[in-house]
Amino acid sequence: MSDEFDFDAPDHCTIGVLGEVGHRLFLFYCRQGLTETTVKVEKQQVAVLAGYLGRIVKELGRPGHLPEDLEFYGTEEFEWVVGTIGVSYDEELDRIIVVLEELDVDDEEEDEDDLAESGRVLRVALTREQAAAFAIHATRQVESGRPPCPLCSLPLDPAGHDCPRTNGHRPPAS
């Protein structure tokens, strides 16, 4: 049995980042009226989603006035962990649809029929303006962390970085 959460006209949709650099928790937060939800996402998922939303908005044309309030109003308590994220465009509604599906930790033990019926799904229909603002904010949140190594693109740790691209022939980049 799956639980589905639909936000067809969200009042607020953002990414929250909690914790210290290198140990940050990324949370996708959405509110419509009195209903709100927070789910945990990975940094890479946020980066890819932001980039994809940005490309869609660019293809659709310049949006109107962007929402300025992208504050995270949730807490570090999340309802579930996101596994896959899908994005589509509904021409009739002129909305960008973001679908977040729960990570199923028992993937290997179940067949596809069981997977189709399990897990929670969050659907959010964003206006072009909301999608553009979300993409900008999410990109800033991702980039506010540790800078990437210029050789391997892995995050540089303040304590040092053993770059796999140096193959032991150079001192670690820092």
> pLDDT for 98-112, tens place per residue?
999 999 876 555 555
DSSP state of 129: H
How far apart are the two ends of the chain, measured CA to CA in Å?
49
Task: Tell me the two tokens of residue 8.
Answer: 């067809």
Task: Give just the sign of the alpha carbon dihedral 134, 139, 144, 146.
Answer: positive
Decide which of 18 and 164 is more confident.
18
Whole-prediction pTM: 0.81
pLDDT in tens, 36-95: 999 999 999 999 999 999 999 999 998 999 999 999 998 899 999 999 999 999 999 999
Task: Tell me the two tokens of residue 35.
Answer: 């209903």
pLDDT the model gives residue 150: 84
